[in-house]
């Protein structure tokens, strides 16, 4: 059930309480270069960024605190942490993907341990 994405855009869908779910703009960073760049040097992030594959992150050279959600291969949330700039996150052995967003966003969206999320990739209009 391994997923492989390409760099691009899409949506993070967080389902909860049987409703339609929360849809969040998502930047997908799947190449080594895009994952390495991530949120470095940014003052803010619109929505969230997916780093895949990834099982740990750091906040060196970041300008803002962030929320980090670690996802397993089935897109279930293993852990959610808030990290301030200048920290090295602990690797999560079962994590295959990481979602980063501004601090506080994960709670607002309902992203919590045990929740399952969906990644919807934007398709080029054509």
Domain boundaries of the chain, sorted by first residue: 8-121
For residue 4, is pLDDT > 50? yes
Are residues 62 and 85 in contact, defined by beta-carbon separation less than 8 angstroms? yes
Q: How far apart are CA 26 and CA 76, in angstroms?
A: 17
Copy the structure tokens of residue 1: 């059930």
CATH 2.160.20.10 assigned to domain 8-121? The reply is no
* pLDDT (0 to 100) of residue 2: 52
Residue 2, helix vs strand vs coil: coil
Are residues 13 and 21 in contact, defined by beta-carbon separation less than 8 angstroms? yes
pLDDT of 62-79, one tens digit each?
889 999 999 999 999 999
Are residues 38 and 100 in contact, defined by beta-carbon separation less than 8 angstroms? yes
pTM of the model: 0.91
Q: Which residues contact 124 (CB under 8 A, 6 or more apart)?
A: none
């Amino acid at each position: 059930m391994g997923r492989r994405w390409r760099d691009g855009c899409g949506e993070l869908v967080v389902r909860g309480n049987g409703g339609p779910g929360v849809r969040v703009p998502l930047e997908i960073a799947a190449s080594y270069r895009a994952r390495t760049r991530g949120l470095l040097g940014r003052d803010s992030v619109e929505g969230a960024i997916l780093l895949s594959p990834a099982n740990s992150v750091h906040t060196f050279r970041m300008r803002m605190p962030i929320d980090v959600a670690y996802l397993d291969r089935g897109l279930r949330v293993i852990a959610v942490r808030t990290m301030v700039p200048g920290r090295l996150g602990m690797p999560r052995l079962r994590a295959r993907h990481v979602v980063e967003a501004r601090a506080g966003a994960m709670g607002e969206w309902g992203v919590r341990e045990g929740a399952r999320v969906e990644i919807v990739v934007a398709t080029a209009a054509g």
